[in-house]
Amino acid sequence: MSIRRITRHLLQHHWRARQVFPPAVIDRIEQAIRQSETTHSGQVRFVVEGALDGLPLFRNQHARARALDVFSHLRIWDTAHNNGVLIYLLLADRDVEIIADRGIDAKVGAVGWEAICRAMEAAFRAGQFERGVIDGIASVSRELAKHFPPGGAHPNELPDKPVVM
């Protein structure tokens, strides 16, 4: 456990996520998710967490493990075609993780998701948070459209509204 990491998380805390993603930006991201889901039969969720606190922080939980917890908690794995995808951003660590249900993950794989994460992180380093998220959603949606094209009516199984933690 790094004292530097603990300090960064304690100082940034949750206000940072709301500063970088104010309500108008959250609304535009929600719209991007809603529009993207017309191009495939998958489900996309975006979650941003400003910083860890309490036990996750002091247990040195990393972004990937936290994203798995969030994926499970939000029941993203519970889609009819096993094609739910979580895009998770932990701002304090400047780390993006994509957790995908087994149906789509088997098609795209770790290398494909990692490329999308790195592109998003590059946009964030340039201060382009909204653009990075919307481009990430578009990239995830291209993969979903390739492997799970829209087929007739498909219900919106998960909320489109981003979660700010």
Q: Does the pLDDT value for residue 33 go beyond 90?
A: yes
Mean pLDDT over each residue of the chain, to the nearest integer = 90
Residue 56 pLDDT > 80, yes or no?
Answer: no
Weakest-pLDDT range from 37-41, 62-66, 141-145, 160-164: 62-66
SS (HEC) of the chain: CCHHHHHHHHHHCCHHHHHHCCHHHHHHHHHHHHHHCCCCCCEEEEEEECCCCHHHHHCCCCHHHHHHHHHHHCCCCCCCCCCEEEEEEEHHHCEEEEEECHHHHHHHHHHHHHHHHHHHHHHHHCCCHHHHHHHHHHHHHHHHHHHCCCCCCCCCCCCCCCEEC
Q: For position 160, what pLDDT does the model report?
A: 96
pLDDT value, residue 125: 93
- pLDDT grade for 38, boundaries at 50, 70 and 90: very high
Position 60 pLDDT exceeds 70: no
Q: Provide mean pLDDT across the span 111-134.
A: 97
Q: Identify the pLDDT of residue 1.
A: 61
